[in-house]
Amino acid sequence: MQNRLLDNGESVSTYKILKVLRVQDASVSYQAMDSRLGRQVCLEIFTAADEAALKRLNNYFQALAGVQHPNISLVYQTEFLDESLLVASEFVPGGWLADLIEGRPVEIDFVLSCGVQIASALEAVHHKGVVHGDIHPANILVNPPKLRLIGWGLLPGPGQAIKACDADCTYQSPEQADGILIDARSDLFSFGAVLYALATGIPPFRSETVQLPPSELLRSQPPRPTSLSPNCPVELERIIKKAMTRDRDARYQQASEMRLELEQLQDQLKKSSSLEATVKAKGFGDLGRGEQISAPRADDSPSKVESGSQEAPEPLTVHAQPRRLRWLVWAGTASLLVFAALFLMFERRNASTPSRGNTRGATRLNAEAGSDVIAGKNYALLFATNDYRYWPHLNNPQGDAKAIAEELGKNYDFSDPEPRLVIDPETKDIINVLHQYARRSYGPNDQLFIYFAGHGFFDEHEGEGFLVAKDSKLEQDDAEHTTYLDFSRLSKILNNIPARHIFVVLDVCYGGAFDERVTKWAGQRGADEYADVAPEKFIRRKLAVEGRLYLTSGAITSVPDGRPGGYSPFARRFIEVLRGYGGSKQLVTATSIATGVAKLEPEPRFGDFGDSAPGADFLFIPK
């Protein structure tokens, strides 16, 4: 019997075979009908080299039969038959957890739900002295809302050694790979590896490298989960790291420890969601990771982003003190009077100056003495990557870039030529496109806006940051980073583009490494810099200064991608500032955008690079 698969309709003992479920080296699982009780079961037939091994397996399942747990299929019966062991257990329809891990991180709520259920199941079996020995996504059955841990029987009993790579090498513990006797802590290492795969979309140890001896494979250090998935909470990364510690004495010692910490994190996120729902109900929009209360809902389109505010509001206060309230009333009244006076002065001056129409490719504003301030052409180039060949996919870079491009083309003077979008580029594509812009001819007042959205990476040993392109490999497969675009080279390429005014925005992880100084913007060039200067004079001054400015969504840290179908917190605030259209000045600058995003977490970085001159800025002039 052990040498062939049973056919559908064939009977063995009191079971009628319905279909094959899966085939493994030491066993075959079938969906079968118990003819005595009239119920469907999962019938697993084990073969072994000797009778003693089968007896150990039988003892193992007898111990497992004493475990009743909602995340473990019940063991109904064991039976010896023709040098094989039949194990009948509860049949649960569903799919495999492995099918959900396809290069894209799973929602964190689902990761934590899975984690709590698996930890609870391990807690129950470890209490009975049973070690699973083969925890990996293909041994976890998904039958929403519950998971079932299956794949028992690889280990013939507690405290026994198991040959390396009998288990899935991409999830096994180091001691298991070394052929050392394993205990419950080995399951916790593998469980941590499963959480890693759920949170990042890839296993911690790539299957392509399994040809290496398992002990060597497991000596490699997998990338940090937060570097692969910006939405992964730091606390979850800490739990995974502790579970996957190579020294098993430094790991969690019991599954209950992991379960409690996962439940605590789950409660924290639920409380945050509850606060978010309350804020939504009061009309304040969505609170994403690192977002301000003023942000719109994640499912809002850019057209729904409320315009008119350049500064993020103060955190929501339930009750203002009377003295503070009186001060706010007086300050607001004074501000209104000042703005009204300025508005009347501006209108009177415009009434005495004939209006002038726009010329093709240029923006004309009224100036003193009837002269014109003419800005040159404005170019916009946006790179956005959602889908990666090796790295986990992202949700929002393309949508972010498209929304910003639409805003620039529709409401600012970036319509001739239209903003250019480069979607899912490989490293060579990014370089080739930038070289095309370096070969162009630019007028003295032409401006070039460049936006990058996607993955970023930082090598702590080299002290260098990188853009991750569609074809960039994981660091463990590309230690020399030949498939990445390092920020040093990117900075040189951008600095050599002959446009006098360049503004580079990087909404990528570790984008702050673009500037080796990692200069923190200190707010010295705020929105009031030209409060006492007419817009025409301000434009003239800024266009006379060569500028190379950058703005990143964070320093040397991961940044959030945002909810699927929404925007990253940084992109959303960027769009909000653009939709403010410069307020009464009708002028948005790189500095005012930096001011508008300054309160986000992680904190953005704003500075200059290359041949930028002091006092430079970049102008966004509404149509």
Q: Is the four-CA dihedral 19, 24, 25, 27 of positive or negative sign?
A: negative
For residue 586, pLDDT over 80 is answered with: no
Could you tell me which of 302, 299, 268 has the C-alpha nearest to residue 285? Answer: 299
Confidence of residue 426 (pLDDT cuts 50, 70, 90): very high
What DSSP letter does each residue of 271-329 carry, written as one string?
HHHHHHHHHHHTT-----TT--TTPPPTT--GGGSPPS--SPPPPP-SS--HHHHHHHH
Q: For the residues 470-474, what does the mean pLDDT come to?
A: 92
Chain centre distance of CA 485: 20
Question: Is the model more confident about 489 or about 587?
Answer: 489
Q: Specify the pLDDT at position 427.
A: 96
Mean pLDDT rounded to a whole number for the chain: 78
Q: Specify the pLDDT at position 274.
A: 57
Tokens read off for 296: 């719109």
For residue 367, pLDDT over 60 is answered with: no
Cα gap 506→602, rounded to integer Å = 13
Q: For the residues 70-99, what does the mean pLDDT come to?
A: 89
Q: Is the four-CA dihedral 351, 357, 359, 362 of positive or negative sign?
A: positive
For residue 603, pLDDT over 50 is answered with: yes
What DSSP letter does each residue of 68-121 carry, written as one string?
--TTBPPEEEEEEETTEEEEEEE----EEGGGG-SSSPPPHHHHHHHHHHHHHH
Question: Is the model more confident about 287 or about 83?
Answer: 83
Lowest mean pLDDT among 102-116, 187-201, 318-332: 318-332
Cα gap 178→8, rounded to integer Å = 40
Q: Specify the pLDDT at position 552.
A: 96
SS3 content of the chain, % helix, strand, coil (to 5): 35, 20, 45
Q: Specify the pLDDT at position 154.
A: 55
Q: Indicate the burial class of 566 (C-beta count within 10 angstroms; 0-12, 13-18, 19 or more).
A: buried
The secondary element (H helix, E strand) that includes residue 593 is: helix 590-597
3-state SS class at 605: strand
Q: Specify the pLDDT at position 240.
A: 96
Chain centre distance of CA 331: 42
The answer to whether the beta carbons of residues 498 and 545 sit under 8 Å apart is no
* Residues β-bridged to residue 556: none
CATH architecture for segment(s) 100-267:
Orthogonal Bundle (1.10)
Q: For the residues 199-217, what does the mean pLDDT come to?
A: 65
Q: What is the CATH number of domain 363-620?
A: 3.40.50.1460
Q: Specify the pLDDT at position 397.
A: 95
The pLDDT tens digits for 530-567 are 445 566 677 777 788 899 999 999 988 888 888 878 89
For residue 166, pLDDT over 50 is answered with: no
For residue 10, pLDDT over 70 is answered with: yes
The answer to whether the beta carbons of residues 392 and 448 sit under 8 Å apart is no
Burial 130-165 (b: 16+ CB within 10 A, else e): bbbbbbbbbbbbbeeeebbbbbbbbbbebeeebebe
Cα gap 515→551, rounded to integer Å = 10
CATH architecture for segment(s) 11-90:
2-Layer Sandwich (3.30)
* Residues β-bridged to residue 19: 31
Lowest mean pLDDT among 326-340, 440-454, 490-504: 326-340
Tokens read off for 339: 């703005």
The pLDDT tens digits for 379-394 are 999 999 999 998 888 8
- Going across the sheet that includes 420-423, the strands are 420-423, 378-384, 447-454, 501-508, 547-552, 605-608
Cα gap 268→441, rounded to integer Å = 55
Q: What are the φ/ψ torsions at residue 79 (nearest 5 degrees)? A: -155, 135
Question: Is the model more confident about 11 or about 537?
Answer: 11
Lowest mean pLDDT among 63-67, 201-205, 215-219, 567-571: 215-219
Confidence of residue 421 (pLDDT cuts 50, 70, 90): very high
Q: Specify the pLDDT at position 534.
A: 60
The pLDDT tens digits for 103-160 are 788 899 999 999 999 999 999 999 888 888 889 898 899 988 889 998 875 544 444 4
The secondary element (H helix, E strand) that includes residue 595 is: helix 590-597
Could you tell me which of 318, 317, 292 has the C-alpha nearest to residue 305? Answer: 292
For residue 275, pLDDT over 70 is answered with: no
Q: Is the four-CA dihedral 13, 28, 56, 63 of positive or negative sign?
A: negative
Record the pTM. 0.51
Residue 171 CA neighbour count, 13 Å, CB half? 26
The residues near 166 (Cβ < 8 Å, ≥ 6 apart) are 25, 134, 154
Q: Specify the pLDDT at position 333.
A: 53
Q: How, if at all, do strands 501-508 and 447-454 pair? A: parallel
Question: Is the model more confident about 95 or about 168?
Answer: 95
Q: Specify the pLDDT at position 374.
A: 52
Q: What are the φ/ψ torsions at residue 184 (nearest 5 degrees)? A: -60, -30
Q: Specify the pLDDT at position 359.
A: 33
For residue 58, pLDDT over 60 is answered with: yes
Q: Specify the pLDDT at position 578.
A: 92
